[in-house]
């Protein structure tokens, strides 16, 4: 049996491992021979991951002290070596941009952008000392294609991709590789968490978007399920791209996941901006309309 603490195994730190993509990738990469450090935000989650046979570390990317403590813990356990980082932690804040309060927008960027970049900067010195490393950012199809009522999340992913592209160029002379994974819909707790943020921050009744919000809220509440939608894939679809980004000799700069990502990526290269807007609005039109039976039930 392989010793999980064997320092000869390549070490990988993953943020956001309490469920979904992070948890799936943590288990699978460990089975592939990596020593995985699964980052979670709460002590109870640490215990749960230990019981599942994973090395777990307390890591809240919204907290600088937590980031640096987690990196120190990992490096102490690996004699100062970290071979790879998967920046997976993130969430989506739904709502029309004019209705998203500044506090909510700040929280969106703290997790999806600032935390990911601070965590990356914290591991780079160790990677430079050992002369190699892989950094992977979990972005989204919304990192290059904007959709209505997802503006805060879209803006954060656009920013994340800009930073990842810049970082890739700045590290060109090193042996540290940077990749982006751009999934479309993946079965996870993402929609349930987004619904909680929607209810917390968006005041619907006084909004000019209140009619659309009824449909948005219906969809988010209904989608609190393991899978939803014809193009939704399981977390293993992201895992497949992560394996290539971490283990191939020539990792790609970008990895598409799901049909919508391929489709929108193709159309974005062909269409002018307003034509692309029309395609994206049409693709999401049903999300802004209540199903007929729900409309008929309204008083």
Residues with catalytic function: 153
Tell me if 100 sits within 8 A of 201, measured CB to CB.
yes
User: Using DSSP, how many helices (H) and how many strands (E) does the chain show?
Assistant: 12, 7
Q: How far apart are the first and last CA of the chain?
A: 64
Sign (positive/negative) of CA torsion 138, 268, 95, 289?
Answer: negative
Q: How many CB atoms lie within 10 A of CB 77?
A: 17
Give the C-alpha separation, 10 to 18, whole Å: 22
Give the C-alpha separation, 242 to 253, whole Å: 12
The single-letter DSSP state of residue 98 is: G
Enter the tokens of residue 169.
């160029």
Tell me if 22 sits within 8 A of 132, measured CB to CB.
no
SS3 content of the chain, % helix, strand, coil (to 5): 55, 15, 35
């Amino acid at each position: 049996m392989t010793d999980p603490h064997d320092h000869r195994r390549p070490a990988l730190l993953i943020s956001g491992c309490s469920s979904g993509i992070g948890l799936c990738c943590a288990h699978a990469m460990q089975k592939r021979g990596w020593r995985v450090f699964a980052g979670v935000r709460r002590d109870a989650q640490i215990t749960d991951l230990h019981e599942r046979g994973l090395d777990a570390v307390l890591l809240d990317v919204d907290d600088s002290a937590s980031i640096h403590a987690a990196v120190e813990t990992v490096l102490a356990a690996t004699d100062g070596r970290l071979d790879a980082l998967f920046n997976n932690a993130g969430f989506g804040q739904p709502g029309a941009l004019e209705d998203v309060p500044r506090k909510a927008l700040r929280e969106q960027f703290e997790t999806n952008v600032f935390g990911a970049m601070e965590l990356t900067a914290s591991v780079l010195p160790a990677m430079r000392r050992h002369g190699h490393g892989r950094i992977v950012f979990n972005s989204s199809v919304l990192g290059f294609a904007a959709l209505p009522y997802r503006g805060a999340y879209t803006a954060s992913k656009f920013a994340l991709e800009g930073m990842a592209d810049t970082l890739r160029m700045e590290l060109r002379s090193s042996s540290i590789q940077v990749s982006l994974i751009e999934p479309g819909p993946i079965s996870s707790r993402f929609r349930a968490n987004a619904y909680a943020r929607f209810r917390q921050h968006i005041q619907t009744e006084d909004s000019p978007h209140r009619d659309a919000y009824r449909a948005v809220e219906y969809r988010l509440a209904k989608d609190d399920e393991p899978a939803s939608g014809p193009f939704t894939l399981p977390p293993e679809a992201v895992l497949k791209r992560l394996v290539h980004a971490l283990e191939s000799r020539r990792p790609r700069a970008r990895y598409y996941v799901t049909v919508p990502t391929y489709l929108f990526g193709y159309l974005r290269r062909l269409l002018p901006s307003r034509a692309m807007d029309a395609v994206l609005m049409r693709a999401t039109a049903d999300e802004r309309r209540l199903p007929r039976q729900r409309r008929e039930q309204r008083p």
